[in-house]
Structures are given as C-alpha cells and as structure tokens.
Amino acid sequence: MGYFKVWGGGLPVSGEVCISGAKNAALPIIAAAVLCKRVCLENCPRLSDTATAAEILDTAGFCFDRCGGGVNIEKTDIGCACIPQEMCGKMRSSVLFIAPLLRRFGCVTLFMPGGCRLGARPVDMHLDLLREMGAKISICGDSITARADNLHGIKTRLPFPSVGATETAIMAAVCAEGESEIHNAAKEPEIDDLCAFLNKAGADIRRGEILVIRGRNSLLGDVRHRIMPDRIEAGTYMAAAAITGGELFLKNAVYEHISAFAEVLMQMGCAVRENGDSIYIEAPERLYNPEYIATAPYPLFPTDMQPQLTALAAVKCGDCLIKENIFETRCGHVPQLNKMGAKIELLSRREFLVHGTESRLSPAVTEAADLRCGAALILAALAADGCSVIKNGGYILRGYEDICKKMSLIGVKIKYCT
C-alpha cells in the first residue's frame, strides 16, 4: 500500500469541493445490477472498492464498462458464481453479492468478507435471512455456499438495523415469490437509493416504518440511475473546514443526510448553511467541543464520522467523551492521533475521552488502521505543523475519490506516494 504525505501548518482550507457519488450506495447497487437486464449508472465513484465490485461482476460474467461519466453493466458471458477468496478478502461489501448471485445462478460460493477491521463483523444476519427465505447454506472453513431454486417472501424482524443485512433482505426479496415484511430495517439514505434503483428496474418496494417488498418471482429489467452523493465524504470535508478554521462550499451534497454531524459542528461554533444541493460551512479558529457524542444508526450520529470527529475534538477547546455503539473496536485512530500529540484516553475499546489541546499537533509518521481512521489522520495532519506521513494510504483510496486533487483545490499540499 502507498502512503500519503500531507503538509499541514493549520492553514485554513477554502474554496469549493464537488462531492462524489456515495461508495456505500454504489456498492449495493452494483451488486443489485446482477438482478437486472441492462444497467446504466451515473455518478459512480472511481474507488478501489468499486473496482473490486467490478472484478466480482466480471467473474460472474457481467461487463462493467466505464464510458464518459457513466457505467454500463450487462451480462455478456456465462460467468461463474464462485467469487475468489482474494476478492472477498478485499471488502466487506463482497457479501452483498450473495443474494443477487444466488437468484441468478441458483447456487453461489463466496468467502467470509474482509474489509476494515472494526470488530467481529459477522455475516450471520445475512445468512439467517437467506435461510428463512428457503436457501440452504453450508459453511466450510471460510467458504460459504448458498443454494436455492427459488426464494420465498418472509415476515421477519432484524435483531439490529444492520445496513448490509437490510440490503441483502431487499435484494433477496425483490425477485422472490410472495411478499416480504422486514421489521427493524436500517434507515440509512443509501438504502433508499438502493430501493429507488430497484423500483426503477421493476421492483415493488415500499419504505415505511416497515419495509414491504412484493416479490415478482423473476429477474428485473433495464434501469438508469444516478448514485446519491457521498454524505461521509461531505462530512469529512466539513471536518477539514472545521479543523483548520476554514470555509468550504460543498457542491452535490445533501444537508439532510449529514445533519447529525452538521448539528454538532454548529454547536461547536461553525456556521453551516444548506443551499439546494450544496452545503456551505464557515468555521472560526476557536471551536468548543461537545461534552458527549455517541454513534448510532441513522439518522443519529454516524459511526463513519466518529474518527474524524475525534481528530477534530483533539485540537479544539474542552473535553469530549466519545462512545462508539456500532462497532466493537473502532478505535484504531486513537493511538495514531496520540502519536501526533493528541491527548485521548482510551477508557475502553468503545469509549474514549478526548482532551482538546487547543493547539496544533506535531507532524508524525502514522498508519491508517482502516478507511475512516485514514481520513481522521489526514484531518489531524492539516492541524499539525510540518509534513505528516500516513501509511496504509490504500485504505483511504477505498472511500475518497480524487482526494489529492480535491484537497489541492482547497489549498492543501498533499501527495499520494506508491
């Protein structure tokens, strides 16, 4: 993996950033393309994770063709529904292919997914849903094989509103026989985007308090869809403005999707304004930390912004207690930020107390433990004097399209070295 070099100095960022299509919407939609005839996607981000999803499609006999700003996906070859371990190991979202490939091929083999190590991250809910719908699942070591001639609708309640398991339930149910009711489904906007995509292709999904899907017992048709903007990318650039006392105009960003984070920034002292499909943020140098932030499923504070908030709180005024409720071990950024002079006490793997230093950090050589940890380290580097190095930079490329170009346009000196 390559590394990033960031020359900080606490200089305020300023200018305009165009937010890309959302990684977390693109990945399930690319998987769901397996259920459709011909798919045309706009705003599909160029990320290493979307490239991995394209490799999986290729294995299954689908052509993933980037032309102009769009992507066309279509089945062109016989392909096979056995996804190599190496591809599954690259990202958690490889598991999202299980339901669509099962429906297409009647049998699918894949491997326990890899991805950011944020805790145990089992796939039990995904597999239980498919079993309930009539699939036979066998697990041998790390390989998972699912078989089903046909899936049937179910009424079920998820034990936790898992984003991925909700997406598996939707993709399995749209082409199953009969109606499904999913209670306690996740409410993230990326799931709305997946539903919008599938409904355009001929599915019948209704999103209320209960997720109701009328299965059509056949594959779906043609669809053209524009991927929603990436709320976590938007939030990360907002954090860049906040940490440097800068000013940014984010184009192609939906305020409502990132309002939980925006509200925290406003409490801290930033001015944040919504303007159609854009967000404006202006931050004074002095910001006051919230006393307590806990991550929770949407619409509450997103776990994918927790490391960035930790970096921000580390250099602002006051103490902030952060509680991570989604993942068991999303704390890899804490020792790395401390290497840069932050004062963060790890009370447990889920709880840390940030003592805001109200001063610049020291440049250091740090290592990204995962994607959002990498984002937090870039933010910390902006608030450090001199040049910081962030190793394992490949994690960051999984989720931030053109990060060097976008950061340079707002005044940051940054380089990715391979």
Helices (H), 359-411: 371-382, 394-397, 403-409
- The stretches of 340-393 forming alpha helices (DSSP H) are 371-382
121 binds ligand UD1 (CB under 6 A): yes
Binding status of residue 182 toward ligand UD1 by CB under 6 A: no
Q: Kindly list the distances between the CA atom of residue 165 and the CA atoms of 125, 174, 310, in Å, as whole numbers in the listed order.
A: 6, 14, 28
Residues written for the chain: 418
Q: Provide the mask over 74-113, with x wherever binding to ligand UD1 is found by CB under 6 A and - wherever it is not.
A: ------------------xx--------------------
Q: What token pair was written down for 196?
A: 């919008």
> Edge to edge, what strands does the sheet with 62-67 contain?
62-67, 70-75, 38-42, 223-226
Tell me whether residue 191 or residue 203 sits nearer to ligand UD1 (CB atom): 191
> Out of 6, 13, 19, 27, which residue is the one contacting ligand UD1 (CB under 6 A)?
27
The residue with tokens 């490239």 is: 51
Name the minimum Å distance from CB 144 to ligand UD1. Answer: 12
Q: Report the residue number, 187 or 251, with the smaller CB distance to ligand UD1.
A: 187
Residue from 20, 50, 52, 162 touching ligand UD1 (CB under 6 A): that is: 162
Among 19, 110, 135, 163, binds ligand UD1 (CB under 6 A): 163
Binding-site member from 122, 141, 208, 276 for ligand UD1 (CB under 6 A): 122
Q: Which of 40, 44, 88, 116 is catalytic?
A: 116
CB of 364 to ligand UD1, least distance (A): 26
Cα radius of gyration (the chain): 21
**Do residues 57 and 66 make contact, with C-beta atoms less than 8 angstroms apart?**
no
For residue 228, what is the DSSP state?
P
> Nearest 5°: phi and psi at 328?
-70, -35
Cβ-based nearer residue to ligand UD1, 245 or 302: 302
Output 304 or 401, the one with its CB closest to ligand UD1: 304
Alpha carbons within 13 A on the beta-carbon side of 320: 28
303 binds ligand UD1 (CB under 6 A): yes
From residue 189 to residue 208, the character string flagging contacts with ligand UD1 as x (rule: CB under 6 A) and all else as - is -x------------------
The tokens for 54 are 């394209």
User: What mask, x for binding ligand UD1 by CB under 6 A, covers residues 320 to 359?
Assistant: ------xx--------------------------------
**Cα separations (Å) of 238 from 232, 233, 295?**
10, 9, 18
DSSP code for 193: H
Cis peptide before 299 (omega within 30 of 0): yes
Q: Smallest gap, in angstroms, from Cβ of residue 138 to ligand UD1? A: 17
For the bound state, the minimum distance from the C-beta of residue 276 to ligand UD1, rounded and expressed in Å, comes to: 26
Query: Interface with ligand UD1 includes 146 (CB under 6 A)?
Result: no
160 makes contact with ligand UD1 (CB under 6 A): yes
Active site residue 44: no
**CA distances for 130 relative to 12, 165, 345, 350, angstroms:** 50, 10, 42, 31
- Tokens matching residue 29: 């939609």
Region near ligand UD1 per CB under 6 A, out of 140-148, 162-170, 244-252, 305-313:
162-170
When asked if residue 185 is in the footprint of ligand UD1 (CB under 6 A), the reply is no
> Nearest residue by C-beta to ligand UD1?
164
Question: In this structure, which amino acid lies at residue 195?
Answer: C
Please give the Cα distance from 21 to 43 (Å, whole number).
Answer: 5
Question: Does 125 contact ligand UD1 by CB under 6 A?
Answer: yes
Footprint of ligand UD1 on this chain (CB under 6 A)?
24, 27, 92-93, 119-126, 160, 162-165, 190, 303-304, 326-327
Residues marked active site are found at: 116
